[in-house]
Structure 1
Amino acid sequence: MSGWSAAWTTSPQRPGAGFAPNWSEEGFSDQSARQTVRLSVGGDSLRVRLTNRYGTVPLQIAGVTVAAAVGRAAVRPGTLRELTVDGEPSFAVPPGADLATDPVAFATGAQDAVTVTMYLAEPSGPATYHAQALATTHRAKGDRLADTGGAAFTETSQSWYHLSAIDVTGTAGDGIVVLGDSLVDGTGGTPDTDRRFPDLLARRLAAAGRPRAVLNQGIGGNRVTVDSPWLGDRTPARFDRDVLAQPGVSTVIVLAGINDIAISEIADASPFPVLAPYTEVSADEVIAGHRDMIDRARAAGLRTVGTTLLPIRGSAFSTTRSEAKRAAVNAWLRESGEYDAVIDLARAMGDVLAPAHDSGDHLHPGDAGYRAMADAVDLAAL
């Protein structure tokens, strides 16, 4: 991976029902999927990483293109480039694997939006995806790889499919992975605006004259200690692939643990069966998971940054037990010195989310709340 730096990532998940309707279980057949993502840093050339991580059969890709985005499903004429693997425009991604395309000359800048279009001519089977993209994926019948307009793309979804990363050359290899749950994923923010906590942190770094890739590896509902069929492998279990395998990374920020100590509190009242299993987890178990990730990051030469757990008071997650566990985890984060640095988001956001920062559920920030989180980061800690 020498010379490459990840400029955008997302964490793949198993096909499933999720929190909202999606295409992961049905997959694709004679359809083109068009997906737009925003790069946190730019470069001279790029490659796209595709994933069949949770597939059981080879994923047959009939073609892939990349282009500069102009909005919705349209791309800028003259920028469209065909992507290949080993020089071939059609290829297969083996089951359980990720695959990078060949590099293509494609100049990009920080915060540029690029559009990847995949044509899947044969039935794909259930699709590895990322459930809560907070971005619109467009789908069309047939081969629409060369379309610059978006008229044919009449179906939409709020998930990403078979797309895991875009890497670039020509940028410093000092990226930051932000690993965690819905507070990293961006739940509560406005779709198609790229105002998640990692996005806004990347913009702060660029504005300060210190541009760095900030890579979002959050999964809504994800936990430190519990594997879930729909909400992802626990963070230590996906640490190697989602953090250590990313090219050009020097730092990991971990914002995780609130779901472990809180999901069991809503077992009898949850409207979302997707949250199961409702496993009882102690503060010590969450801390042990953090220690495991610290040890593996340090062994790989990465700087480790922890973040305190945000307020949940007033939410369905808030009980006497969960508040006590949250306090215990935060005390360890602040006082143990085990992370190289700690961002105290809990102190910055207060005992309860301010109305201006609250998306409405007293758990997830809205756009202004995510900006407050990004503004609370001491850039020197990174």
Structure 2
Amino acid sequence: MLARSIPRVLGALAALLSSTMISWPAHAAAPTQPPSGWVTAWATALQSIPDISDPPPLYRTPDVAGRTVRQIIYPTVSGRGVRVRISNVYGRGPLTLTDVSLARSAGGAAIEPGTMVRLTFGGKPSITLKPGAETDTDWAEAELTAGEPYAVSLVAGPHQTLTAWHRVANQVNYVSTDGDHAADTASSAYPRKFTESAWVSALDVRAPNARAVAAIGDSITDGLRSSLNRNHRWPDAFARRLGQAGMAQTAVLNLGISGNRLLSDSPCYGEALGRRFERDALGHGGVGAVIVLIGINDINFASMPPRAGLDCDFPHTAVTARDLTDGYRRLIERAHRSGVRIFGATLTPASLPPAREAVRTAVNDWIRTSRAFDGVVDFDAALRDTAHPDRLQRRFDSGDHIHPSDEGYAAMAAAVPLESIEAAVHR
């Protein structure tokens, strides 16, 4: 037993000696100062994993200790020069990474030979972040193309665990066998698949004329029930629409979290959007506008039955339309303080019972008529059945009467007022 433990002890000691324990403020610049002109080209919102001894299958995490996690991401704007944001915001212990790299994906867990770029932290290959901290890597020379897949490989420390992730990535990611497999071009060392993402919260590119729009909300922005690995969420479709319209200098960032609420935290579904808004929507490079779609879970969760053990809908807080519109006003105030335009999206049909439908209708009336937002994105009008406006059109219904199908998500992207968003982002 002692002989078998020696390699792990030595590995832990080597990681400790080569790492830097850092607790920088959120979004602190890496010590190597990059040139100007950075914009976030891809981002995701992280959430805490429920801290219970026997979680249900949906919340069981892969073993990452001493292994390489390879994640596939698609930047939504092109640029030359790259940096990656590593986050331990929801960590319950230190996050140690001993090697981080970026390469062009070759499909699955494979990467294209000769494309790997190692990413460093103040010139060092490894880092340890205290709980609550996040930082950017040093910038590296690399040319990234919008819409193409890239693999970020992260080698975890010998005792590392996952305590936070983005749970509904709708993208297959990979965990290796033991060891540093960041340089492996083949997929053979990556037998474990998982559909969450971890530790990486943003990827920035140097694109001096580019700007970004942040889409933030719940599962309907997250793209729940859209096709796996196909990028059929509505922000994906909107990014493609911008490119087809000759507006390729606008990135679209998806900061949706399935189950998220405007006003209440959840054990499973992340911090309330009102609490995470400044970091997740306003904290990225080049954001000029935000599209907010949130509130349907606030309306619904009060009516969900309490569950023994893990109750993801806790607290079961009842809300009024006024509660939600007051919450929107607070978002608007914070966006405007940051010089960012904010667009309110109407809540989509969800086949609600009459009392909850009345709240949804009142909220949508306020979004459309109050003129509190800088503009309106009328997703409700785009998706509803005109004969039964409390329901999704059948062709836009994924089958659960709440989440759109791929066609429904495409209809949402088509409903975003292109010129208004573009004018707000690039004003």
- TM-score normalised according to structure 2 size: 0.85
Shift of 1:27: 5.6
Q: CA deviation at 1:358?
A: 0.9
Contact 2:37 2:209 in 1 (8 A): no
Pair 1:300 & 2:338 matched: yes
2:239 and 2:383 map into 1 onto residues whose CA distance is 20
Aligned position for 1:124: 160
Distance 1:187 1:139 in 2: 23
2:283 is the counterpart of 1:249: no
State the Cα distance separating 1:12 from its structure 2 match.
1.0
SS at match of 2:209: coil
Query: 1:279 is matched with which residue?
Result: 317
Q: Report if the CA contact (8 A) 1:173-1:249 is conserved.
A: no
Flag the 1:283–1:27 CA change in 2: closer, same or farther, 3 A: farther
Instruction: Choose from 134, 142, 145 the match for 2:182.
Output: 145
1:271 positional shift: 12
CA positional deviation for 1:270: 11
Give the Cα separation in 2 of the matches to 1:206 and 1:33.
Answer: 31
Confirm or deny that 1:162 pairs with 2:204: no
Give the whole-Å Cα distance in 1 for the aligned partners of 2:412 and 2:103.
32
Which structure 2 residues correspond to residues 306-325 of structure 1 after superposition, within 5 A? 306-313=344-351, 318-325=352-359
What are the superposed Cα offsets for residues 248-273 of structure 1, whole Å, 9 maximum, x if unpaired? 11001000111101122232699983
The aligned residue for residue 100 of structure 1 is: 136
1:38-75 deviations in whole A, cap 9, x for unaligned? 11111001111111111132211110111001211011
Amino acid at match of 1:360: G
Q: Aligned-pair distance for 1:171?
A: 4.3
Residue matched to 2:377: 343
- For structure 2, the 5+ residue unaligned runs are 1-28, 30-35, 422-427
Superposed CA deviations along residues 200-222 of structure 1, whole A, max 9, x for unmatched, are 11110110001210000000000
Q: Distance in 1 between matches of 2:101 and 2:113?
A: 13
Give me the TM-score of the superposition, normalised by structure 1: 0.95
User: Which of these residues, 357, 360, 377, is aligned with residue 326 of structure 1?
Assistant: 360
Confirm or deny: 8 A CA contact 2:263 2:272 kept in the other structure: yes
Task: State the Cα deviation string for residues 174-199 of structure 1 (Å, max 9, x = none).
Answer: 21000100000000101111111111
1:381 equivalent to 2:420? Answer yes
The one-letter amino acid paired with 1:288 is: D
Alignment partners' CA distance in 2, 1:58 and 1:353:
45
The residue matched to 1:107 in structure 2 has which SS? Answer: strand
Pairwise CA distance, 1:339: 0.5
Aligned length: 377
Q: Residues 9-53 of structure 1, C-alpha deviation per residue, up to 9 Å, x if partnerless? A: 0001102389853554x6621111110011111100111111111
2:246 to 187, 209, 214: 209
**Is the CA contact (8 Å cut-off) linking 1:176 and 1:251 kept in structure 2?**
yes
Task: Report whether the alignment pairs 1:193 with 2:230.
Answer: yes
- 2:32 corresponds to: none
Query: Take 1:330 and 1:272, find their aligned partners in 2: how far apart are those partners?
Result: 32
User: Residue type of the partner of 1:161?
Assistant: A
Aligned-partner residue type, residue 187 of structure 1:
L
Give the conservation status (yes or no) of the 8 Å contact 1:349–1:373. Answer: yes
* Secondary structure of the structure 2 residue equivalent to 1:281: coil
Aligned-partner residue type, residue 37 of structure 2: G
Q: Alignment partner for residue 55 of structure 1, among 87, 91, 94?
A: 91
Please, what is the CA RMSD of the aligned residues?
A: 1.9
Residue identity in the other structure for 1:304: I
Quick one: which of 38, 50, 60 aligns to 1:4? 38
**Residue matched to 1:70:** 106
Q: Which residue does the alignment assign to 1:363?
A: 402
Secondary structure of 1:35's counterpart equals strand
How far off is 1:381 after superposition?
2.2
Per-residue deviation at 1:276?
Answer: 2.4
Amino acid at match of 1:156: K
Work out which of the two has the higher radius of gyration on C-alpha atoms and give 1 or 2.
2
Question: Hey, what's the Cα distance between the residues in 1 that align with 2:60 and 2:210?
Answer: 35
Q: Tell me: CA distance 1:42–1:22, structure 2 relative to 1, closer, same or farther (3 Å).
A: farther
Q: Which residue identity does 2:222 align to in structure 1? A: D
User: Which ranges of structure 1 fall in alignment gaps of 5 or more residues?
Assistant: none
User: 2:261 matched to which residue of 1?
Assistant: 223
Deviation sequence 1:216-239 (CA, Å, 0-9, x none)? 000000001111121111111001
Letter in 2 for 1:213: A
Matching residue's letter, 1:95: P
